[in-house]
């Protein structure tokens, strides 16, 4: 409904008009993109959310999250069981405001072949997204994730026959795309309480394979390694030997004092070198106001080190909502959104005189 009088404007009409901020722009772009033979396309959906489309037009969404962070100062302190309380000994809530607009409308997703989640942290798994897929994607596509992710979906009412529990070593085929499940190195998830009644004792080290996984998405045009929220691990080198990786996405950001949650710029480069990838893309730096990173720092450190260590890869600085086509964009260092005005001077200009310009 179009509101054209101030007397009819309400908080709800305002929200309906401006949210999600990108409307269905990105949904339409993804749907209308025909990926050419020998290529794959990716879109960044904010945070660690990515959409991958193969040259057979198979679509896989990973860690699509359409939620928010803190929205009011009037929140209780963190409980002693909260992961940040356990890690820092602090109780004050973290000021993690969402710093990026909503670039995709989950309720406008109609064509998707698989929905993957890496772990159960609230900025990676989303009840709204689950509901939107169940309601609007006509095919009964699979919901794929480790045990604790599937437990969360089941608690939310996702039908059990739609859920597929995976662990490292598993291989899932989605049409022409193969998904290899690998180890996660997300130490933060080990101190996070999952959505279950019987919580482990504080001294117990949970089974990582039930809580988090990484994915290798294999297409005919190349392979994507999704490290999710993994910290740097020496075992990345084993994954680099086991898989032929073309593009790796990793979680990067600025860690507050006393917190080790995201990879640093040096960690990003070490991970890329160990994974033997062609391109490394730091993500996750964009979304939390208290952990905002600068991906150009990764590029600058890469320039300092690339000759010394004979790097065979390069970093790529993305923007939320942006696309990446492989191999077309494999040598790019930075993404910038379309600037428009390609149709300039296709019609006569309408100015009093040319020198007006």
Encode pLDDT of 31-86 as tens digits. Answer: 999 999 999 999 999 999 999 999 999 999 999 999 999 999 999 999 988 899 99
Say what the pLDDT of residue 202 is: 81
Which one-letter DSSP state was computed for residue 78?
A: P
Pair type for strands 323-326 and 40-44: antiparallel
Q: What pTM was computed for the model?
A: 0.96
CA 106 to chain centre: 14
Say what the pLDDT of residue 53 is: 98
Q: What is the pLDDT of residues 133-157, one digit of tens each?
A: 999 999 999 999 999 999 999 999 9
Question: What's the whole-number mean pLDDT along residues 327-341?
Answer: 97
Q: What is the pLDDT of residues 258-313, one digit of tens each?
A: 999 999 999 999 999 999 999 999 999 999 999 999 999 999 999 999 999 999 99
Phi-psi region of 155 (alpha: psi -120 to 50; beta: other; left: phi over 0): alpha
Which one-letter DSSP state was computed for residue 321?
A: T
Question: CA–CA separation, 196 vs 215, rounded Å?
Answer: 25
Q: Given pLDDT bands bounded at 50, 70 and 90, which one contains residue 1?
A: low
Say what the pLDDT of residue 247 is: 98
Say what the pLDDT of residue 244 is: 98
Say what the pLDDT of residue 199 is: 78
Q: What is the pLDDT of residues 177-232, one digit of tens each?
A: 999 999 999 999 999 988 776 777 888 889 999 999 999 999 999 999 999 999 99
Q: Write down the residue that tokens 């489309």 correspond to.
A: 53
Say what the pLDDT of residue 356 is: 82
């Amino acid at each position: 409904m179009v509101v054209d009088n101030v007397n009819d404007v309400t908080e709800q009409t305002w929200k309906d008009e401006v949210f999600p901020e990108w409307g269905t722009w990105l949904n339409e772009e993804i749907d209308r993109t025909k990926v050419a033979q020998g290529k794959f396309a990716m879109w960044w959906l904010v945070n660690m959310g990515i959409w991958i489309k193969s040259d057979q037009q198979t679509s896989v969404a990973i860690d699509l999250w359409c939620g928010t962070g803190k929205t009011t100062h009037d929140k209780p302190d963190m409980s002693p069981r909260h992961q940040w309380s356990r890690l820092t000994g602090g109780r004050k809530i973290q000021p993690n405001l969402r710093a990026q607009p909503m670039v995709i409308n989950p309720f406008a997703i109609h064509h998707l072949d698989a929905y993957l989640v890496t772990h159960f942290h609230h900025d990676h798994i989303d009840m709204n997204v689950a509901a939107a897929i169940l309601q609007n994607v006509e095919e009964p596509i699979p919901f794929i994730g480790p045990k604790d992710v599937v437990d969360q979906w089941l608690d939310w009412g996702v039908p059990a026959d739609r859920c597929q529990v995976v662990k490292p070593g598993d291989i899932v085929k989605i049409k022409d795309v193969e998904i290899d499940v690998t180890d996660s190195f997300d130490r933060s998830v080990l101190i996070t309480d999952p959505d279950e009644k019987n919580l482990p004792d504080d001294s117990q080290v949970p089974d990582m394979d039930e809580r988090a996984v990484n994915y290798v998405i294999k297409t005919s045009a190349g392979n994507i390694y999704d490290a999710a929220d993994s910290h740097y691990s020496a075992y990345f080198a084993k994954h680099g030997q086991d898989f032929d990786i073309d593009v790796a996405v990793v979680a990067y950001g600025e860690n507050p004092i006393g917190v080790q949650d995201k990879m640093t710029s040096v960690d990003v480069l070490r991970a890329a070198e160990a994974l033997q990838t062609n391109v490394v893309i730091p993500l996750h730096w964009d979304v939390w106001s208290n952990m905002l990173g600068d991906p150009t720092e990764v590029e600058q450190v890469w320039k300092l080190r690339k000759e010394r260590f004979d790097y065979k890869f390069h970093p790529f600085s993305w923007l939320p909502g942006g696309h990446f086509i492989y191999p077309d964009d494999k040598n790019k260092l930075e993404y910038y959104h379309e600037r428009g005005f390609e149709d300039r001077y296709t019609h006569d200009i309408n100015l009093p005189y040319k020198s007006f310009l």
